Amino acid sequence: MSDLTRRDFLKLTTTALLTISGALGVGALFRFLDFQTEPPVKTEFDLGPAVNYPIGSRSLVPDVPALLIHNQNGFSALSLVCTHLGCTVEQKDSGFECPCHGSRYDANGKVLRGPAQKALRALRVEVNSTGNLILHTD
């Protein structure tokens, strides 16, 4: 083996080792930062007695945020989180409009105008044994 190839070999080994350690370090850093300290986000909201929401009512539930609708077909709820990039939509002429990039939805949450592609999410609502309304966001 000539001197040069031996030197090349050492150089290659050094580079390889450095690259591997670097990659491992970045991987470890990523995992370190990937840890979540907060408990998982709440997905169940107790809205109180169902009788507080008479037929024909449309009530805002700000901390979800959602709109609770009670009509002849029973309770239903629409998420007010814009499906584009997550701003909260505002109620506007019987439908909804997003202040961030202007998406529009009709009263049922269907997209009228982009950039949003998907309809507002329908959320599950149920009445529990004590007569309270429970809203699920998952």
Interaction site with ligand FES (CB under 6 A): 82, 84-87, 98, 100-103, 115-116
* Smallest gap from residue 114 Cβ to other proteins (A): 7
* Smallest gap from residue 103 Cβ to ligand FES (A): 4
Member of 41, 54, 93, 129 binding other proteins (CB under 8 A): 41
Q: What distance in Å separates the CA atoms of residue 138 and residue 132, rounded to the nearest whole number?
A: 19
CB 78 within 8 A of CB 69: yes
Member of 1, 3, 4, 33 binding other proteins (CB under 8 A): 33
Q: What distance in Å separates the CA atoms of residue 124 and residue 82, rounded to the nearest whole number?
A: 17
* Smallest gap from residue 61 Cβ to other proteins (A): 9
Residues numbered 59-118 forming contacts with other proteins, rule: CB under 8 A: 60, 62-63, 65, 80, 84-90, 99-102, 114-115
| CB burial of residue 42 (10 Å; 0-12, 13-18, 19+) | exposed
Q: Which two tokens stand for residue 25?
A: 């370090």
